[in-house]
Amino acid sequence: MKIIFYTLILLAFQNSLISCKGKQGNTTEDNFTQNKESFMATMQKHLDAVSNRDLIALKSTMAPNGKMQLILPKTEIIQGVEEFMEYHRVWFKDSLWTFETNILNTEIGHKFGMVITEIIYREPERNGQPYFNRMIVSYDLEKINGKWYIIKDHASSIEKSTEME
């Protein structure tokens, strides 16, 4: 009788360990999935905000601690969220350009991540001709207080319709 009792207790304990292990695995996987979804949602919100010239949505993707760097060709580094937003306030006043985005790859960690995008910037007319600029843009994101924010935007031109600007 004692052997049956101890066997039943041992089996119950073993089943509870297996059950807990399975739940932990799912929890880790769920956390990874939620982290990735949150990361990608922030990145897509940022890209959509630029495409739609939406300063409010754009600002919501910026770090609350003011950390931000914007690196553009032939331009000094623009430091900080306020300077980044001022650059975009001026740029967004021109309503004729379009901005097509394609996320090429991502690396998502627990606290930091990066995204590489291809962006096609177009203007219907620049110096009497249509203009385009195909760029590769990398973004760095940091998780602050459980939320992802853009902290770096680095653009590199790959192909332009003209080098004259």
* Alpha-carbon torsion (126, 127, 128, 129), positive or negative: negative
For 3-46, write each residue's pLDDT tens digit: 655 544 544 555 554 444 444 456 677 788 899 999 999 999 99
What CATH number labels 2-160?
Answer: 3.10.450.50
Count of Cβ atoms closer than 10 Å to residue 7 Cβ: 10
Query: Where are the domains positioned within the chain?
Result: 2-160
Indicate the pTM of the whole model: 0.79
Q: Each residue's pLDDT tens digit in the chain (165 positions)?
A: 556 555 445 445 555 544 444 444 566 777 888 999 999 999 999 999 999 999 999 999 999 999 999 999 999 999 999 999 999 999 999 889 999 999 999 999 999 999 999 999 999 999 899 999 999 999 999 999 999 999 999 999 999 997 654
Write down the pLDDT at residue 17: 44
Burial class (CB in 10 A: 0-12, 13-18, 19+), 120: middle
